Amino acid sequence: MFTPKYPPQDTAPPAPAVYTPVPLQPTAPAPAPVAPASNRPTVQLTPGSALALAAGGGAVVLVVGAVVVSLLLAVAITGVSVAVVAVVLRLLIKDLHKH
């Protein structure tokens, strides 16, 4: 019951051990593929649009930074308030045990 059951051994014929190399014929290199011409218009940035793009990116960075700082501040305030509640409860329980 607890003895392992091994599958039967492979009965396929062995692969031939003799390797015969085939000489390679020199061939001309294949021409490089040419990329098809794109029908999409190219984007050209004027100084005004580059400035607007930079201002938009800066605004995104500022907004994301403000959100992250707000979340961290909310976590810090929550932690401080939980600590204050813990101290008050500890003092109340200590006061109850005295009387």
Per the structure, the count of domains in the chain is 1
Looking at the predicted structure, is the pLDDT value of residue 98 above 90?
A: no
Question: Does the residue 75 lie in any domain?
Answer: yes
Q: Scanning the structure block, which residue is given the tokens 């020199």? A: 26
Looking at the predicted structure, is the pLDDT value of residue 70 above 80?
A: yes
Question: Does the residue 39 lie in any domain?
Answer: no
Q: Which domain holds residue 99?
A: 61-99
* Alpha-carbon span 79 to 85, nearest angstrom: 10
Question: Does the residue 89 lie in any domain?
Answer: yes
Closest by CA position to 45, among listed 54, 37, 36 = 54
Question: Does the residue 30 lie in any domain?
Answer: no
Question: Does the residue 81 lie in any domain?
Answer: yes
Residue-wise pLDDT tens digits, 20-32: 777 777 777 777 7
Question: Does the residue 95 lie in any domain?
Answer: yes
DSSP assignments along 21-89, one per residue: PPPPPP-PPPPPPPPPPP-SPPP---HHHHHHHHHHHHHHHHHHHHHHHHHHHHHHHHHHHHHHHHHHH
- With cut-offs at 50, 70 and 90, classify the pLDDT of residue 66: very high
